[in-house]
Amino acid sequence: MLKIVTVNKNEKFLRQKSEIVTFEQLRTARVQSLIEEMLQHVSEDDGEAGLSAIQIGTPLQIFIFENHSQKNEKPEAIPVINPELKLLGNATEIETEGCVSIPKIFDKVERHKRVSLSYITPSGKKIKKTYSGFTARIIQHEYDHLQGVLFTDKIAKSSGKTHQETKTNRETE
């Protein structure tokens, strides 16, 4: 079972920018095992739609997201290495988000409805795809983790709360 890093004790760690994964690193058993453990964790956890490596103590540019594009099917967990994200269009939506690294906090966050994601697979293949809706939201959330950005940083823009107010509320719970 993976140990999740939380802001309560490790906010500074979670706010660092994750490092690019080299092809040499990608080929190691350590990185391949990390990806497999993350895939298993997201696939088995019904409430978790994504997970970044920094959330489990490894500041590498790796995340897993569930692709919810296929209606009426179980979402597929997809591993992403060294992502490049492009926000598409001006259309956004405000929805409630939460995060396993920020327990018990849920609030509304504005995100783009469509994104283009370029990344490398665990086998080293380059992929570029467009995603929309809930899947685009998950991707943006996990990508933010790799940049040292937490969803609570974005709450102020959509709900009027400041990051400090959210942090203070979190600390008193």
Query: Among residues 37, 142, 171, 173, which one is catalytic?
Result: 142
* DSSP assignments along 40-57, one per residue: HHHHH-TT--EEEGGGGT
Task: Convert 103-138 to b/e letters by CB count within 10 Å (16 or more is b).
Answer: eebebbbebbbbbebebbebeeeeeeeebbebbbbb
84 is catalytic: no
39 touches 62 (CB < 8 A): no
Catalytic residue positions, numbered: 142
